[in-house]
Structure 1
Amino acid sequence: MMSSELGTRIKAQRKALGMTQGELAASAGVSRKFISELESGKDSASLGLTLKVLHELGFEEPALRKVPDRGEEISGIFRRSLAAKDYEYALRLVGEYAAESLQEGRPLLRQRPAIDDAQYLVTLAALTRWVASKTDSITPAWARKTAASAEPVFLSEKIYPVGDRMKQLIRSETPKELREMNVWMRERSLATA
């Protein structure tokens, strides 16, 4: 593969993930100048650093086949569960998404999930921000751009009523990234799914 073709593929994948050159550089531990030179097809790029960038973008080295996107898979599972109004399963998936992302060391939803439920969308954005903070990784652009909910989001209320005392307890144990998005969920419910 020619370095110009590699650079084109790297740039396309970075843009598809909604990342700037600076964000990719920070995430891969390289300079923004290195990313710029890599994307422009400069032949003298360090192989070791190039492999770090490719890994960060989800490419499988050395064949440069794209690793299956677990985030796309997760998005589809949420879409089907919410379309079926299976809120109990969807609520369980929230915890599984958080736990699996923590285990992977980065948010798995790199692109906006294709779901219509505004409460779940803002919850997944908040969780994605939380995971990025916990794993010291880049928050995907879609999650940064998602606005906070105007109304408090207690996803469990889609299944059963939540009393005021329980809401008070949940609020006291909700991580900052979720609170900022007006999403209320106990941290221990996320990390132990």
Structure 2
Amino acid sequence: MNSIKWYKNPEMIVALSALLIGLVTTFISIYSAYIDREYARASVWPRLEVFKSSSGNSFSYGVSNNGTGPALIKYAKIRDGSKYIKTWKEIKPFQNIRQSHISNRTLSPQNSITPLSYKGEDAKAFVKADGSISIELCYCSIYEECWVIDRSNQPTAVEACSIDNNQMFLQ
């Protein structure tokens, strides 16, 4: 009786080949799904930048989104020296300013907002007061990836945006 080894049997060769092709296809599908998810996340990646502008008799703070996706701004922290403030008017020179809301808003890509702006003769007082002001924003992408940014414009990834209510800027 002529006995063929099990791995030389034509049916077994076909079965092992099908198994190998199935494993390779599974690996390629998993890797492709991973790449697709990374691409989707990168295509809606927000990138906030905080800036100030001053010239002559005008002064303003701005926030721009230079990323590819919307930035969901969760909170703002603003300090004057070591004291957290709730509104701009808590800073003496900032009594007569034009302002807009910055916390809890969505900033579309390639757009900016001006949370504080002033035009008038006292612009130099704003420039002087600017030295003691620190601004921190926490924002997330639509995939709930979150970052904290300050005036150095170097985003730091965080697990989630959480804040003590005593530190939250209200405007």
Identify, as 1 or 2, the structure richer in strand.
2
Identify, as 1 or 2, the structure richer in helix.
1
Asked if TM exceeds 0.5, the reply is no
Q: Which has the higher contact order (CA 8 A, sep 6+)?
A: 2
Q: Give the structure-2-normalised TM-score.
A: 0.20
Scaled by the length of structure 1, the TM-score of the pair is 0.18
